[in-house]
Chain A
């Protein structure tokens, strides 16, 4: 039989996506803990998520400093001793401060968990933020910050967030260079005391887990000696800001400009979100998206462009972002707007929709392929306090959405004149 190379071999639509539901337990002190037992390697990851992002800080930088400096010294170990031990066991502790949370992640070989969890426990409960370490940290960070500010993509991000949320809102506020000189160690210690305690966190344990690992976790982080019995006071901020619909930050001598377009939009907690996510994927959520096709593959304006839905705890936003040739920034923005208009006005073909659906289902398979992928997929769901059946609903929405619904959703959420535009670099 002659091989027909023109014809795609028969393929199956993805029918079953096995979404493991994390097992939920409470440690002895009440910390909600999610357990994901999967994978083939003798490896463990522990994520601890504190409600301690920059949302909760009263002065600039404090939330980040606390999160990143936990490893810089405790009552019993110096910064160097902590680093030595972790490196010796081939373990990693990654701080990850965000707007809403202070996350700490430990990656460790299972056989060294007894040693490494002890360090994790110590840095969370007993950090001392030594004065000299703080000084070094700040002067180093101040320089790195200045370097980051040279990048058009960062200039655009800062301006865009400020326009979205306003300069006084924790999601919109820009860090300034002088902030690095005004940090007070007392505020750092106080922030840790106020927010890094057992009533203010969740834990996700993933990898090859058995009872002895859970027992160890309970023995350390499940202990009752780090409770302060107060909930973090939930601050509220209103977004009352009137944004400039278009803002431009000039930077000399650039070959590319960074562009961002977007708006405040629903987050994962909203029932329309799953469908909006399909619309966003068509627009700019995968390599074959309309924005990639037009702005990269037809016009050659950029190396890449994407459209992202960001779900924060207290808000969500859409951002379309790219770095484009400095002399075509205007054209690129016009093309983005045209693509959005098309989504609102013209029905997507069944062929394109089928492709996007299959791609998204395949992507979900990838998001659950392996213990750390599973935990990464659940972390945001758990953070937002959503039910673990979130992904079942996502699959349902992907499978059932119709071309008509796409037009409806696009018209409801993506009116072009509601988009804020930010350009950094050149714009003419």
Chain B
């Protein structure tokens, strides 16, 4: 195995409840996967994943919770759904990946802190303005992730073309949107 484990004692590391949890949360029958590999074949990010999508599915079947939740793949998934579209077993693979992220956050097992940070900042921005304020999001993300100059060289161009606004654009119903985000955040631990 990657992550320095070449021998996996599958009984010791198996978390039987995890399989059921993933299936329930995602609404997908992961047990139906017969490892054809079409998800990995179709995936735009297989080259940067630590485990290709089909191996993630296999690890779920084996109940290898710790390996999966610490994997990089679940955070790099772009949710393009090519895997979902082409799965011959009709498994919504992208949905499963998303479920795994939620479970990783819940278990405090996130290895890709920056990606989680981006999601958190994104939601905060949505809660504050009713929709995302890109310029603010980029600034706060860059600061908090400790890489303040990331993509700064692109700023003059995108600003000139009007792709990014300097001030947030507020929408009607901000309170309601904020309530949705809050409900999600508050409900997180009890989901499942």
Q: Do A and B come from one complex?
A: no
